[in-house]
Amino acid sequence: MTKRTRRNHGSVFKARVALEAIKGEQTLSELASRFQVHPNQITQWKQQLLQGALRDLREERKIKGT
């Protein structure tokens, strides 16, 4: 049995996968198979994307003073 080397995915790839998950047109299993990553990883990237978006929106509100 050969050991699989750890892959490092770029932020663009992670965002693309997370956006596909947010769309909800395919199941996590289908996306995991399509992008060759574990479903848990997709869930993590999706959460990170949504949290980052919320953080950015909050910062924008602070700047505008609303």
Query: Would you say residue 44 has pLDDT above 70?
Result: yes
Cβ–Cβ under 8 Å, residues 42 and 18: yes
Position 66 scores a pLDDT of 59
Closest CA to 17 of 28, 7, 5, 4: 28
Neighbours of 20 (CB within 10 A): 17
What 3 state SS string does 19-44 have? HHHHHCCCCHHHHHHHHCCCHHHHHH
Please tell me the predicted confidence (pLDDT) of residue 9.
93
- Does 38 score more than 90 pLDDT? yes
In the block, residue with structure tokens 């995991």 = 32
Residue extents of the structural domains in the chain: 11-64
Q: Is the pLDDT of residue 47 over 80?
A: yes
Average pLDDT over residues 11-26: 96
The arithmetic mean of pLDDT across residues 36-49, rounded, is: 97
